[in-house]
């Protein structure tokens, strides 16, 4: 197919508009061999100057030069073939440009359609924005109501905490009152409660116990801290052994429900009072003994008095 001047100008215009095509055309026209051609020509010129300088001496090299000329002719033929191939490629490129133009027209139509859809989408978004504004206003109103509710709940929680603290203090005061009344009951009715352990029972007053402990501290049998520990006992009873009549003391820990801590305190305080040289028995008294305190009571040889019933350390309490 003939390549006219008009088409060549169109090709030049296309190449000016599309730099990447110029690079592609240059890659096809200027092959590596063609790029090397100037160097080869320079080498040939050097050979020619050398030949003229030594024409008489290098006559035999003319054959080699002729071979180089033949190779150059072959290279020119190859270049001609490359140019022909380039012409075919430009023709294909023109067809591709035509197809690209058709695709561009189709793309333009598609873009117009998308623009119309986008306009409709903007209208829809505007409507949604207005609805979201209404929802946001309603949410603000609900948030204000929720904040007021939280304030009310916080106030109610504070009142409930105050009520719980009041109930806790009342419970603690009631436990202390019940414990104090129970201690007073065991102190005042000691002969009735402890008669199965001793006879001729006498519950020591605070003054009597203090005088006994002061003497022990003075004699060096007890330290001040140890005497204070014995003074913390709920009830201290003095009596006579039922069999041999020897003097015996009872250190009694009284609690509504006897626990492990009561058993330990009775055993420790009785052991301190024994250091005065007087036999002393540890006793716990109350309405019941917790299961976790029963085995330690037998191990520490602590007597149990529960609701008027006396249980020696060697006997398991009735369930």
Residues of the chain with pLDDT under 70: 1-3, 5, 30-38, 55, 58-62, 65, 69, 76, 83, 90, 94, 97, 104, 111, 118, 125, 135, 146, 149, 152-180, 315-319
Query: How high is the pLDDT of residue 262?
Result: 97
Find the helix or strand (DSSP H, E) in which 108 lies: helix 62-188
Query: How high is the pLDDT of residue 166?
Result: 36
Copy the structure tokens of residue 163.
Answer: 């009520």
Tell me the per-residue pLDDT of 212-257, one tens digit each, with 9 for 90 and over.
Answer: 999 999 999 999 999 999 999 999 999 999 889 999 999 999 999 9
Which residue is listed with tokens 């359609």? Answer: 113
In the CATH hierarchy, which fold is given to the domain comprising 189-311? Trna Endonuclease; Chain: A, domain 1 (3.40.1350)
Distances (CA, A) of 103 to 90, 97, 106, 111, 115: 19, 10, 5, 12, 18
Q: How far apart are CA 262 and CA 234, in angstroms?
A: 10
Query: How high is the pLDDT of residue 204?
Result: 95
Tell me the per-residue pLDDT of 140-166, one tens digit each, with 9 for 90 and over.
Answer: 778 787 677 677 666 666 655 544 453
Q: What is the pTM of this model?
A: 0.45
Q: How far apart are CA 177 and CA 117, in angstroms?
A: 85
The vertex-129 CA angle with 123 and 135, nearest 5°, equals 145
**What is the distance in angstroms between the CA of the first residue and the CA of the last residue of the chain?**
121
Query: How high is the pLDDT of residue 5?
Result: 67
Helix 62-188 to helix 32-53 angle (10° resolution) is 140
Query: How high is the pLDDT of residue 33?
Result: 65
Residues of the chain with CATH 3.40.1350: 189-311
Q: How far apart are CA 235 and CA 284, in angstroms?
A: 10
């Amino acid at each position: 197919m003939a390549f006219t001047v008009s088409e060549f100008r169109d090709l030049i215009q296309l190449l000016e508009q599309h730099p990447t095509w110029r690079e592609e055309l240059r890659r096809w026209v200027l092959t590596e061999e063609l790029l090397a051609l100037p160097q080869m020509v320079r080498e040939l010129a050097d050979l020619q100057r050398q030949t003229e300088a030594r024409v008489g001496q290098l006559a035999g090299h003319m054959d080699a030069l002729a071979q180089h000329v033949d190779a150059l002719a072959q290279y020119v033929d190859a270049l001609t073939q490359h140019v022909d191939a380039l012409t075919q490629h430009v023709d294909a490129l023109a067809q591709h440009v035509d197809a690209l133009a058709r695709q561009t027209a189709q793309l333009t139509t598609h873009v117009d359609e998308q623009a119309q859809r986008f306009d409709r989408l903007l209208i829809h978004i505007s409507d949604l924005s207005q609805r979201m504004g209404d929802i946001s206003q309603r949410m603000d109103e609900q948030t204000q109501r929720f904040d007021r509710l939280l304030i009310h709940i916080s106030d109610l929680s504070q009142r409930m905490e105050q009520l719980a603290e009041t109930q806790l203090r009342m419970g603690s005061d009631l436990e202390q009152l019940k414990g104090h009344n129970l201690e007073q009951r065991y102190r005042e009715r000691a002969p009735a409660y402890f008669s199965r352990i001793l006879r001729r029972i006498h519950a020591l007053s605070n003054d009597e116990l203090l005088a006994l402990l002061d003497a022990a501290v003075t004699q060096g049998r007890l330290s001040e801290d140890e005497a204070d520990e014995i003074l913390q006992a709920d009830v201290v009873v003095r009596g006579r052994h039922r069999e041999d009549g020897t003097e015996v003391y009872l250190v009694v820990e009284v609690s509504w429900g006897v626990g492990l801590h009561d058993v330990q305190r009775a055993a420790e305080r009785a052991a301190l009072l024994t250091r005065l040289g007087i036999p002393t028995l540890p006793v716990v008294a109350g309405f019941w003994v917790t299961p976790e305190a029963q085995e330690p009571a037998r191990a520490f040889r602590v007597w149990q008095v529960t609701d008027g019933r006396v249980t020696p350390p060697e006997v398991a309490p009735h369930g």
